[in-house]
Chain A
Amino acid sequence: MSIVKIRNKKALEQLQAKLTLRLGRKATQIEILDYCLILANNNFEKLVELVSNMPILSLEKSEQIIKARNKLKNVIYNEEASFGSRDDKDIYNE
């Protein structure tokens, strides 16, 4: 057995609770993940659609970002610029 860290443990626990209610027995988290893999394989195109919505930073994208940013060199930028209200000044102007 290998160890895989998952990002959203809470979602797995919630899924486990819902399944327990429906099945009348507590499915283990390993069991649930095994079934999720079967589901993912059976719905591969949906999986691709889901994963492709995750933003991926490539070297090309990073270069485009910097190029676009550097075009703004003649735009005024004032790090000391202040807010009108006292509360906003306290929050943002440290």
Chain B
Amino acid sequence: MVRTMGVFLDTGFYLGLCHPKDQHAQESEKILKMLSMGEHGLLYSSNLIISEVTTLTAVRSNNNVNVLNQLENLIWGKQKIATILHFESYLESETWELFKKINTIDLKDSRPMSFVDVSSIVLCQHHQIDQIVSFDPHFDRFLEKIKILRITE
């Protein structure tokens, strides 16, 4: 079934589009091409994802201006690919409650899920976005992931 509701883009996907040596560069490229077919609907991300991706890009590229320009272009420039949703204050308490539930009950003895990741789930719920591009396994329980179909699968 082809869905048309929209896709949320996570930090790792943006990083993969910023530098060819990123560990997810190849996968990000394939997913980008798949998304460009338009079958998955409009693309979204959030201001909290921008906070993560800008910081990580600066650190990993050692503040290289060309890499930062590539990111700038993807988020705000001519090559902008997604509408940026704003994590507003009215979502904070809902996110906090879900954050506590996930980390103290569901993932009690595992690696915790970050507040930013939980905020992405809440934003997707509020905007009826049911698919995500992410390389983080934490989202598997909450959102359908866009994956590349491999011949071996």
Residue positions of A touching B, CB distance < 8 A: 5-10, 54-59, 61-62, 64-66, 68-73, 75-79, 81-83, 88, 91-92, 94
**B110 nearest CB across to chain A (Å):** 13
Interface assignment of B70: CB less than 8 Å from any CB of chain A: yes
Which residues from chain A contact B66 at a C-beta distance below 8 Å?
71-72, 75
Tell me which of B28-36, B100-108, B145-153 binds A.
B28-36
- Tell whether, in the assembled complex, residue B5 and residue A77 are in contact, meaning their CB atoms are under 8 Å apart: no
Chain B: interface size category: 35 or more
Which residues from chain A contact B35 at a C-beta distance below 8 Å?
57, 62
- Tell whether, in the assembled complex, residue A79 and residue B127 are in contact, meaning their CB atoms are under 8 Å apart: no
- Tell whether, in the assembled complex, residue B127 and residue A69 are in contact, meaning their CB atoms are under 8 Å apart: no
* Given A57-B35, A57-B36, A69-B20, A92 and B79 contact (CB-CB distance below 8 Å): no
Taking CB as reference atom, which chain B residue is nearest A58? B36
- Tell whether, in the assembled complex, residue A55 and residue B81 are in contact, meaning their CB atoms are under 8 Å apart: yes
Which residues from chain B contact A76 at a C-beta distance below 8 Å?
61-62, 64
A-B contact pairs, 22 of them (CB 8 A): A6-B128, A7-B128, A8-B127, A55-B80, A57-B36, A62-B36, A65-B17, A66-B32, A68-B70, A69-B17, A69-B70, A71-B66, A72-B66, A72-B67, A75-B61, A75-B66, A77-B19, A77-B21, A77-B61, A78-B60, A79-B23, A79-B60
* Given A54-B83, A58-B36, A92 and B59 contact (CB-CB distance below 8 Å): yes
Interface assignment of B27: CB less than 8 Å from any CB of chain A: no
Interchain CA distance A59-B32 in the complex, whole Å = 9
Interface assignment of B55: CB less than 8 Å from any CB of chain A: yes
Taking CB as reference atom, which chain A residue is nearest B81? A57
Which residues from chain A contact B81 at a C-beta distance below 8 Å?
55, 57, 61, 65
Interchain CA distance A82-B55 in the complex, whole Å = 11
